[in-house]
Amino acid sequence: MKLRLISMITALFFAMPAAQAVPPIQQATLPNGLSVLLMEAHNVPMLSMTLVIPAGSAFDAKGKGGTATMLAGMLADHTARHDHISWADMLDQDAIQLGAGAGQDTLSISLTVLKDALTPGLDAFSELLKQPGWNKKRFAIMKQDTLAAAQKEKEEPGVQAAQAAVELLFGDHPYGHRPSGTMESLATISLNDVKSLFARQVKPSGAVLAVSGDITLAELLPLLEARLADWQGKPAQMLTDIPQPTALAGLSKDVHMPTSQTMVQLNRLGAARSDAAFFPVFVLNHMLGGGGFGSRLMEEVREKRGLVYGVYSYFSPLAVAGPFVISLQTRADQATQAEDVVRTVLAEMAAGKISKDQLKASKENLIGSFAQRLDSNRERVELISMIGIYGLPLDYLSSWTQHVEAVSLDEVTAEAARFLKPESWNRIRVGSKLD
């Protein structure tokens, strides 16, 4: 088959200090609109790849939270050509690791193979994508098991808190349910719902295939073209169709569970992936509670007072603003004290009490640990797919440390005023003594 590339290969490589050198990301677009991103790594004869498609739980039909996750499960389970048994045997025969999953924005299909099993691996990958099986019996079994798993999950305070948080923060917005759904929403999902999501959203145009491993773009493209040329179409909705959520503040919800600890989570809307101040917010969160030891919350709540094992913060930079969360667990009678400490830290930082030294320490930690973020093909693929699906520049990784380095105290202070005012946060508590 003849290759007709819409855009030719572009490779960007910015001059970097030797210690941080990151291999360039090469990009190509297949005629069907699928964007291919590759980072070469020839030290181990293996490849990892992930196809990300705007078909995450944000595209679940109303009241049917969990549809995208069920779709991922069905796609990975069997195909029209292979029942679940022959499919599993075939993949295991060549040690092909092939799976699928769903987040809020995207559905992803991931493949990890030895280089010598690339051909059967790609064959299986394209079969999964182009020839779904939709076996009714398998769907019934999967649904029953998913429902049981959803019930089992309710034993975890973190799951209960996350469920309460999405409902509180997002309500009817497409982010208003967890990707795995609830027992109630899962019960309403039919095979037709799953097929319909596939038919609407699983299309090459706007999708991204991220690859890391022992291959060149010249080798990879003909293999993809041969298998994916007849996969055509454009999804009904794009990530840009996800509406902006409305900010809510000062709300509170308690969930009762028979635990000895109380989980306290404060939440609010965070920054979208495309936020102009992404790096300042990223560094701010690292200083607040994203950086483990050395973060303000860890210092105040754990190191100084011994109230918790862990206290952390994170924000989910999605297509639009996802949740910004601060979470801790402590013995029930210490929960109020711990929450007060968190609120004091928030108030101080929002008021601009951030020192140059703290900023420097956070930046050093982030830059120093950057190599660990890229430690394996699978970790690289995750980052590359994120770059592709959110349209970030191809030099994102090679210029990452420069972007962190460039964040100024003024910028961080401005973002602290924007995000950390205590009254702008909501609260979820999970536990047995919630007075």
219 binds other proteins (CB under 8 A): no
With CB under 8 A as the contact rule, the residue among 190, 244, 260, 337 that binds other proteins is 260
44 binds other proteins (CB under 8 A): yes
Q: Round to whole Å and give the CA distance between 10 and 26.
A: 6
- Choose between 21 and 199: whose C-beta lies nearer to other proteins: 21
* Per-residue CA distances from 79 to 54, 88, 128, 130, 398 (Å): 21, 11, 6, 9, 39
Closest approach, Cβ 416 to other proteins, in A, equals: 20
- Choose between 149 and 417: whose C-beta lies nearer to other proteins: 149
User: Residues 49, 40: contact at Cβ < 8 Å?
Assistant: no
With CB under 8 A as the contact rule, the residue among 5, 9, 114, 191 that binds other proteins is 114
Q: Of 303-311, 317-325, 388-396, 407-415, which part binds other proteins (CB under 8 A)?
A: 303-311
User: Residues 177, 169: contact at Cβ < 8 Å?
Assistant: no
Compute the Cα dihedral for 303, 305, 306, 311 and give only its sign: negative
69 binds other proteins (CB under 8 A): no
305 binds other proteins (CB under 8 A): yes
Using CB under 8 A, which residues numbered 366 to 425 contact other proteins? 366-372, 375-377
- Choose between 105 and 382: whose C-beta lies nearer to other proteins: 382
User: Residues 169, 46: contact at Cβ < 8 Å?
Assistant: no
- Choose between 98 and 269: whose C-beta lies nearer to other proteins: 98
140 binds other proteins (CB under 8 A): no
Closest approach, Cβ 214 to other proteins, in A, equals: 9
- Choose between 120 and 422: whose C-beta lies nearer to other proteins: 120
Q: Which residue reads 């179409």 in tokens?
A: 233
Closest approach, Cβ 29 to other proteins, in A, equals: 27
With CB under 8 A as the contact rule, the residue among 6, 81, 93, 344 that binds other proteins is 93
With CB under 8 A as the contact rule, the residue among 209, 308, 342, 420 that binds other proteins is 308
Q: Round to whole Å and give the CA distance between 341 and 344.
A: 5
Q: Of 62-70, 153-161, 199-207, 390-398, which part binds other proteins (CB under 8 A)?
A: 153-161
Cα atoms found within 13 Å of the Cα of residue 48, Cβ hemisphere only: 16
What is the phi/psi pair of residue 338, to 5°?
-65, -40
Q: Which residue reads 């394996």 in tokens?
A: 376
Structure tokens at 298: 């860890």
Q: Round to whole Å and give the CA distance between 177 and 150.
A: 13
Alpha helices in 241-376 (DSSP H): 278-285, 296-297, 335-350, 356-368, 370-373
Q: Which residues bind other proteins (CB under 8 A)?
A: 18-21, 41-46, 84-85, 87-89, 91-95, 97, 112, 114, 116, 141, 144-145, 147-149, 151-152, 154-157, 257-261, 291-294, 302-303, 305-310, 329-331, 361, 364-372, 375-377
